[in-house]
């Protein structure tokens, strides 16, 4: 049974960076193979993981709308495109959902993609889904039936409020999520007490904070994949401690 983790939070919280560190943690602790799914229309999880992406599932949807080759069924075409879109790495693979570029109905393509993606997932021990910023993915139910929803905020009132709304919406929609966890990321030194006061204003269960880390900033500026952060990273150490608390062993 694949252990699935969804990432959520407003833009700019470092959600995708944290998704990369989570994948690093799962690999290090032997919960492999891992399937990384970039479900953000502004896809950049591949940059965090240091991988090049040539095809997305959005590309497959577009191609199917235009028609498939003579003698090939839509089922066979979509299965082939899904296999081609999987980017392989050591102990983990990446699939980028992408987004449709044209107008019209994508129902048939989406149905086939869901069918084959469900089959693909069964080949992995763990799955990490990096969702879009905000709450759109929640309202579309793309974060349903998962083991853990990790909601990420930065050290701002707006970010914490957004996290509370996301968790509230999952309850309103009745999503099947086994566990929900809340993390505050990019916390400057000396702000812990202020953060705790803000969090207490909302129905949030804060499981940990991740400090601001100059190494993460330097990696980003240099275009280096943050999955390569070394053990001297304060953010990496704090993230691993949090993951150890909330992920089933």
How far is 228 from 190, CA to CA, in rounded Å? 27
How far is 188 from 112, CA to CA, in rounded Å? 46
Q: Residue 156's pLDDT is what?
A: 92
Tell me which residue of 35, 115, 134 sits closest to 75, measured CA to CA.
115
Residue 79 contacts residue 111 (beta carbons within 8 Å): no
Residue 247 contacts residue 3 (beta carbons within 8 Å): yes
Residue 148 contacts residue 5 (beta carbons within 8 Å): yes
Q: Residue 104's pLDDT is what?
A: 53
Tell me which residue of 218, 209, 224 sits closest to 18, measured CA to CA.
209
Spell out the per-residue pLDDT of the chain, length 249, in tens. 889 999 998 888 999 999 999 999 999 999 999 999 888 777 889 999 999 998 887 787 777 777 777 778 877 887 888 888 899 999 999 998 876 555 555 455 556 656 777 788 889 999 999 987 766 665 554 566 789 999 999 999 999 999 999 999 888 888 888 999 999 999 998 888 889 888 988 888 899 999 999 999 999 999 999 999 998 999 999 999 999 999 864
- What domains appear along the chain, each with residue ranges and CATH number? 3-246 (3.40.50.300)
DSSP the chain: --EEEEEEB-TTS-HHHHHHHHHHHHHHTT--SEEEEE--SS--HHHHHT------HHHHHHHHHH---TT--HHHHHHHHHHHHPEE-SSEEEEE-----S-S--HHHHHHHHHHHHHHHTT-SEEEEEPPSBSHHHHTTTT-SEEEEEEEEESSHHHHHHHHHHHHHHHHHT--EEEEEEEEEEEPTT-HHHHHHHHTTTT--EEEEEE--HHHHHHHHHT--GGG--TT-HHHHHHHHHHHHHS--
Q: How many alpha carbons lie under 13 Å from residue 64 in its C-beta half-sphere?
A: 28
Q: Residue 118's pLDDT is what?
A: 78
How far is 198 from 38, CA to CA, in rounded Å? 30
All residues at 6 or more sequence positions from 104 whose CB lies less than 8 Å from its CB, including other chains: 65
């Amino acid at each position: 049974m694949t252990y699935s983790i969804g990432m959520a939070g407003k833009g700019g919280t470092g959600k995708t960076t944290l998704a990369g560190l989570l994948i690093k943690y799962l690999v290090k602790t032997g919960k492999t193979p891992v399937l990384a799914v970039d479900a953000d229309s502004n896809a950049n999880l591949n940059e965090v993981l240091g991988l090049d992406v040539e095809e997305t599932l959005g590309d497959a949807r577009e191609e199917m709308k235009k028609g498939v080759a003579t003698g090939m069924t839509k089922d066979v075409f979509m299965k082939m495109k899904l296999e081609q879109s999987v980017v392989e790495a050591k102990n983990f693979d990446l699939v980028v959902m992408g987004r449709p570029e044209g107008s019209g109905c994508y129902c048939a393509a989406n149905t086939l993609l869901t069918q084959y993606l469900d089959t693909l997932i069964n080949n992995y021990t763990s799955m990490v889904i990096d969702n879009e910023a905000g709450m759109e993915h929640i309202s579309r139910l793309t974060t349903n039936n998962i083991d853990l929803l990790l909601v990420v905020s930065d050290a701002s009132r707006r970010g914490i409020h957004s996290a509370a709304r996301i968790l509230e919406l999952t309850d309103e929609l009745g999503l099947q999520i086994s566990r929900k966890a809340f993390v505050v990321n990019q916390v400057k030194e000396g702000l812990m007490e202020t953060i705790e006061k803000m969090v207490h204003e909302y129905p949030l269960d804060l499981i940990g904070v991740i400090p601001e880390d100059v190494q993460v900033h330097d990696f980003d500026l240099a275009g280096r994949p943050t999955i390569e952060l070394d053990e001297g990273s304060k953010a990496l150490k704090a993230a691993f401690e949090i993951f150890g608390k909330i992920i089933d062993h």
